[in-house]
Amino acid sequence: MSERRSLFGIELDPLTMDQTVERCLAAVRDGRQLEIGVVNAAKLVNMRRDPRLAAAVTGCDLVLADGQAVVWAARVLRAPLPERVAGIDLFLRLLAEAETAGIPVYFLGARQEVLQEMLRRVAVRFPALKVAGHRDGYFADAEQESIAESIAESGAQLLFLGMTSPKKELFTAAHGARTGARVVHGVGGSFDILAGVTRRAPESWQRRGLEWLYRALQEPRRLGRRYLATNAAFVLMTARERFRLTPSIAPANRSH
C-alpha cells in the first residue's frame, strides 16, 4: 500500500494508471466497494471554497491526480506523484477490462440524447460489454435514493457518473454505498467526449497541461473566464504553499 501524499491538506494516492486499474479489479473480485475521487487544479481551488465538495472528495477510497497541473504542483511541493491518472483514461481502461471479464456496468449522467449517442458508440467500441443499465443525469435531489436503488437492482459492478462537480461527488458520498456497485467513478464530461459532443485535447496539449485551454477555446464565452480565474488561484495556492514549506534562512535565535 503506497503512502499517501498530502497536497494543500488533501491526501492523494500516488498510483500509476496500471496500479489504479488493478485496485479497481481487485475490489470487484473481493466484493469491496471503491469510491474514486479525482482532482484537477480547478477542483482543488473549489474544494477550498466548498466544504461539502471537499468532504465528498476526501471521503473517497482513492483520490487521484486527474490534472497535469496537480502532478507538477506535487513535484514543486515535494510530494511527488508518479503520473497523472486522467479520469477519462481510467474510464476507458475500465470499460475494456469490464468487456473482457464480463463485469456489468451502469452509466448515469449527461443529457438523454448525449447518453444515447455515447451508448451507441460504446457498443461499437466494446461490443461484448455488459451494460446493466443507464439513466440521464437530470433528476431532482429527491430522486437520488430511488436511482441508487435501481442501480443496485441492476447488478452493476462498475458505476460511471457522467455529471459535473459537485453533483457527482455529492451523489457518491450520499448514495455510493447504496448502489451496490464495487467501483464508483465520477467521470465528469467524459460522456460528452465519448458521444462526440466535445473534443478532447490532442496528446501534445495534454502533456503540456493545456487541456483546460483547448476546452476553453471550444466554449470561450462559458469557460474562458472561469478557467483563467481558477488557474490563477491554483498558481497562487501553489506559490503560497511552496513559500510556507521553504525553511527560513534567518539565523537561529541564540538568546538564552
Residue 178 · residue 203 · CB < 8 Å: no
> In whole angstroms, what is the distance from residue 90 CA to residue 83 CA?
13
Segment 193-218, tens digit of pLDDT: 999 999 998 999 988 888 888 888 88
Task: Give the residues of the chain that fall short of pLDDT 50.
Answer: 248-256
The Cα–Cα gap between 111 and 45 comes to 27
Compute φ and ψ for 254, nearest 5 degrees.
-100, 5
The answer to whether residues 151 and 91 touch, using CB atoms and an 8 Å cutoff, is no
Read off the pTM.
Answer: 0.91
pLDDT for position 1 = 57
| Three cell numbers, residue 220 | 470561450
The reported pLDDT for the residue numbered 106 is 98
